[in-house]
């Protein structure tokens, strides 16, 4: 985060930070992946699906454009909740929806994870988690990943005010077996365990099947990745109705209408078109496995992935340098400077076959392979 004092006192900017609250002064905001405004990019930095949404989604969006947009949408999103519940064999009161999974997670932190004992999450994980802790004044403790960047369940067997982690983890992409998730739930029956499954549909086993057996389990999903709707902003949580009620109470104290009419229509169509969803996920998985094999043939170390991205490094080459060299060739990937343990790695979204070829050709040229 930039130095607030230097910004406030610079001659180019008027002194306004004196009006900020203590909370704002103390925040280190999340930094989203770059959305370049350049043409002809091979954009592999924000884990967007390389394939568009279902044609039925586009049809539903066109059908929702009418005079009825003058009316407020359904504040309960009943039809969308019903479509999601049907998909997973749950009841509608076990579903919570929000304006993207980040908003859903924000409500989760405030409603379910703010307690006297510290919240636990991995030291290398989705970087929004510590941001939410700062925003809501939540005490937290990071749990180091193993030497192979794996989540070690035994390290979470200690007093806590809740546990949250992505499965597969981000930015590593490494999946955690469902048996390990269940072992974690069995050992933490007095606190909420949140499994953030943003990328689960690309080959990782979901914990949704455990919801009716563990009332302390909450699973979050997004339509941004596997259903190709990052531009529509819809996310949801699945769990025991008591957990869902807590989220709804926070939502209705913040924004009673988080899902607009167009987003609702498109999301329902996306959930109902299972055939297109399955085909798209399979296509991405197959492309990922080919990309991993090709990267390893070039000499890269690539971590196991259950996501629509890979995490890779080339021994002896700086990650930031490789990222910059790819950018010179109009290929954008994601690099994380901190923590230093992952600074050699590139996080690379699985693209189309053509985009993946351009990436590999660019790396060959840079590395003189």
Average pLDDT over residues 312-325: 96
Q: In this model, does residue 165 exceed pLDDT 90?
A: yes
- What are the domain boundaries of the chain? 31-52+276-367, 55-272
Strands (E), 106-216: 119-122, 140-143, 163-166, 193-196
pLDDT for residue 25: 81
- CA distances, 299 to each of 271, 292, 314 (Å): 40, 11, 7
Beta carbons of 317 and 366 less than 8 angstroms apart: no
Beta carbons of 78 and 92 less than 8 angstroms apart: yes
Q: Is 19 exposed, middle or buried (0-12, 13-18, 19+ CB in 10 A)?
A: exposed
pLDDT for residue 10: 44
pLDDT for residue 77: 97
In sign, the C-alpha dihedral spanning 139, 145, 151, 157 is negative
| Between 220 and 7, residue with greater pLDDT | 220
Closest CA to 364 of 331, 338, 337, 341: 331
pLDDT for residue 29: 81
Beta carbons of 10 and 20 less than 8 angstroms apart: no
Q: In this model, does residue 5 exceed pLDDT 50?
A: no
pLDDT band for 1, please (50, 70, 90 cuts).
very low
User: Tell me: the pLDDT tens digits for 226-270?
Assistant: 999 999 999 999 999 999 999 999 999 999 999 999 999 999 999
pLDDT for residue 12: 52
pLDDT for residue 75: 95
What is this structure's pTM? 0.92
Q: In this model, does residue 14 exceed pLDDT 80?
A: no
Give the CATH architecture of domain 31-52+276-367: Alpha-Beta Complex (3.90)
Residue 315 in tokens: 């021994």
Mark out the alpha helices in the chain (DSSP H runs): 4-9, 22-26, 55-64, 78-88, 101-112, 128-136, 178-187, 241-252, 261-272, 274-297, 319-328, 353-367
- Which DSSP state fits 72? P
pLDDT band for 6, please (50, 70, 90 cuts).
very low
Q: In this model, does residue 11 exceed pLDDT 50?
A: no
Domain 55-272 has CATH 3.40.640.10: yes
């Amino acid at each position: 985060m930039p130095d607030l004092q230097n910004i406030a006192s610079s001659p180019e900017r008027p002194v306004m930070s004196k009006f900020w609250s203590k909370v704002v002064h103390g925040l280190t905001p999340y930094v989203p992946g770059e959305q370049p405004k350049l043409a002809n990019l091979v954009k592999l930095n924000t884990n967007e699906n390389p394939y568009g949404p279902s044609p039925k989604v586009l049809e539903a969006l066109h059908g929702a454009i009418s005079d009825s947009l003058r009316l407020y949408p359904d504040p309960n999103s009943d039809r969308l909740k019903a479509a999601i519940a049907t998909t997973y064999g749950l009841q509608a009161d076990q579903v919570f929806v929000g304006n993207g999974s980040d908003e859903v997670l924000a409500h989760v932190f405030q409603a379910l994870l703010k307690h006297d004992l510290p919240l636990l999450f991995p030291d290398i994980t989705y970087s929004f988690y510590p941001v939410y802790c700062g925003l809501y004044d939540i005490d937290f403790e990071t749990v180091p990943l193993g030497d192979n960047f794996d989540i070690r369940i035994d390290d979470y067997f200690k007093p806590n005010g809740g546990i949250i982690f992505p499965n597969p983890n981000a930015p590593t992409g490494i999946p955690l077996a469902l048996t390990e998730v269940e072992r974690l739930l069995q050992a933490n029956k007095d606190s909420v365990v949140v499994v953030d499954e943003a990328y689960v549909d690309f080959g990782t086993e979901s914990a949704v099947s455990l919801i009716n057996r563990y009332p302390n389990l909450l699973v979050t999903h997004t339509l941004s990745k596997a259903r190709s709707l990052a531009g529509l902003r819809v996310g949801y949580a699945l769990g025991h109705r008591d957990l869902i009620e807590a989220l709804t109470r926070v939502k209705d104290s913040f924004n009673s209408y988080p899902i607009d009419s167009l987003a609702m229509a498109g999301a329902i169509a996306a959930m109902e078109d299972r055939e297109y969803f399955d085909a798209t996920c399979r296509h991405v998985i197959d492309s990922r496995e080919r990309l991993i094999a090709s990267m390893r043939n070039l000499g890269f170390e690539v971590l196991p992935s259950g996501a629509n991205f890979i995490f890779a490094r080339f021994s002896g080459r700086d990650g930031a340098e490789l990222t910059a060299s790819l950018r010179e060739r109009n290929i954008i990937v994601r690099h994380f400077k901190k923590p230093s343990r992952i600074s050699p790695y590139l996080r690379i979204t699985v693209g189309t076959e053509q985009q993946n070829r351009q990436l590999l050709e660019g790396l060959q040229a840079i590395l003189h392979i």
